[in-house]
Amino acid sequence: MIGTALLALSTFATGSPPSGPLFTADWTSWRARRAELLRAPDGWLALVGLHWLSPGENRIPGLPGTFTLEGGKVRLDAPAAAGYVLGGQPLTSAVLASDASPRPDRLAIGSRTLVVIDRGGKQAIRVWDAESPTRKAFQGIDAFPPDPRWRIEGRWEAYPEPRQVEMPSVVGIPTVEKAPGRVHFELGGRALTLEPTLDDDGSLFFVFRDATSGHETYGAGRFLSAVPARDGKVILDFNRARNPPCAFTPFATCPLPLPQNVLPVRIEAGEKRWGDH
């Protein structure tokens, strides 16, 4: 799951936040941390390639060696001169653990990092490059000014059991996630709901679109995270609404909003549109 949820949660995720300078300072700190992670050598700004594999031997332009897909497993075979390194040790041949495993293998070759990703049983090689021009040119993301009025308390409706939902994605490969319930809230006198899925750390992960999408904000929608319900309530801090990875690179596999998470209102909070993706 692409949540990075802990990053997105406010210090004031539950209870009443202070207003004025403290609220703004907390939001500013979150923004700085967000930018730091984006511009990391293995952050989304450094993503430079996504190569889907076919059964059998695959050769990828610019990457030495052969990536063989067999039985849902990917094996790399390359000459020692290729310079692949795994865990600090030179590598010439190995079956690579994908990101579906608890500890995916991260191959290094020069300034690049490779990981096998698994999306709905389809495998690809994802490539980061610390020398990415996009990463080096990054100057931050524009955003709406922080406003405590966009920190909304919603009523939590838990499902008897989490239900499975099929999340669409920008690459056309859906993933099956668990939705534990939904949040009911009001904006401008309108009754609205959002249905989250569960992120890896147990937090609530929302993918939503609103009437600013495609104009002031990213067209495919934005992400929002929240602390699980307490006393039947969930805090939706739209000041922390953030662009998905596919806003920064064409090589991401972002989930898209479920139909019930397309809001017919303007959410004038959080990150604005960035770049041309």
User: Per-residue pLDDT tens for 143-171?
Assistant: 999 999 999 999 999 999 999 999 999 99
Tell me, yes or no, whether 267 lies in a domain.
Answer: no
User: Per-residue pLDDT tens for 134-144?
Assistant: 999 999 999 99
What are phi and psi for residue 106, nearest 5 degrees?
Answer: -120, 105
Do 35 and 145 belong together in one domain? yes
Q: Write out the residue range of the structural domain in which residue 145 sits.
A: 5-39+140-261
Tell me, yes or no, whether 172 lies in a domain.
Answer: yes
Do 24 and 126 belong together in one domain? no
The pLDDT of 93-106, averaged and rounded, is 96
The pLDDT of 238-250, averaged and rounded, is 96
How far, in Å, CA of 83 to CA of 80, rounded? 6
Q: How many domains does the chain have?
A: 2
The per-residue pLDDT for 188 is 87
Do 231 and 178 belong together in one domain? yes
Give the percent of the chain with pLDDT over 90. 89
Residue 6 has pLDDT above 50, yes or no: no
The per-residue pLDDT for 5 is 47
Do 82 and 175 belong together in one domain? no
- Residue at which a domain ends, from 83, 112, 137: 137
0.85 exceeded by the pTM? yes
The per-residue pLDDT for 21 is 83
